[in-house]
């Protein structure tokens, strides 16, 4: 099943809003979204975004292509607790697109993108499935990721190409 990204509106002027759902069992004993669920929701939104372009992983690393990647770093800052189950969104964008690595930013936010609950970034490295060493992203993945570049980063990437 594929979820259509929400239209970037209001406070979201770059990247993509991807709808996510917080379920009752995601809440902790205090009735707040458990801290481990924030990055999980970001991970699911990122996977859903790429799935919409036909990228996926079915257990075969050799056939995974650009989906054969690992997390090198992840940071999450918790800003405002999520205190109820319901519909939210993850705002995704690309901070840096390198030859073999990619840093994306994210915010767990209200469904309309107006209220931020947490923000962070994740660094991914694409791997060669046999050698398990960094390998370049495909041209197709680079094109899709470039569409998510934050405006300041897109300007810098254009200047680098000139």
Q: What is the pLDDT of residue 13?
A: 87
Pairing between β-strand 86-97 and β-strand 16-22 as defined by DSSP bridges: antiparallel
Q: What is the pLDDT of residue 5?
A: 47
- pLDDT above 80 for 9: no
Q: State pLDDT tens for residues 16-59.
A: 999 999 999 999 999 999 999 999 999 999 999 999 999 999 98
109 and 91 in contact (C-beta within 8 Å)? yes
Q: How far apart are the first and last CA of the chain?
A: 40
| Residue closest to 51 by CA, chosen among 110, 3, 85 | 3
Pairing between β-strand 116-126 and β-strand 86-97 as defined by DSSP bridges: unpaired
123 and 73 in contact (C-beta within 8 Å)? yes
3-state SS record for 11-47: CCCCCEEEEEEECHHHECCCCCECCCHHHHHHHHHHH
Q: CA 64, CA 67: separation in Å to the nearest integer?
A: 5
Q: Read off the pTM.
A: 0.85
- pLDDT above 80 for 1: no
Q: State pLDDT tens for residues 86-118.
A: 999 999 999 999 999 999 999 999 999 999 999
Q: State pLDDT tens for residues 117-159.
A: 999 999 999 999 999 999 999 999 999 999 999 988 666 555 4
């Amino acid at each position: 099943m594929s979820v259509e990204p929400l239209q970037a509106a209001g406070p979201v002027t770059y990247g993509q809003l991807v709808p996510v759902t917080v379920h009752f069992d995601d809440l902790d004993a205090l009735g707040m979204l458990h801290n481990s669920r924030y990055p999980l929701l970001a991970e699911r939104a990122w996977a859903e975004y790429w799935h919409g372009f036909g990228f996926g992983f079915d257990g075969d690393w050799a056939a995974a292509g650009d989906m054969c990647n690992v997390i090198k770093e992840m940071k999450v800052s918790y800003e405002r607790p999520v205190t109820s189950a319901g519909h939210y969104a993850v705002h995704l964008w690309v901070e840096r697109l390198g030859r073999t690595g990619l840093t994306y930013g994210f915010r767990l936010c209200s469904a309309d993108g107006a209220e931020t609950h947490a923000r962070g970034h994740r660094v991914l490295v694409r791997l060669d499935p046999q050698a398990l060493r960094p390998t370049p992203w495909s041209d197709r993945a680079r094109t899709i990721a470039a569409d998510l570049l934050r405006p300041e980063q897109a300007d810098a990437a254009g200047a680098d190409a000139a």
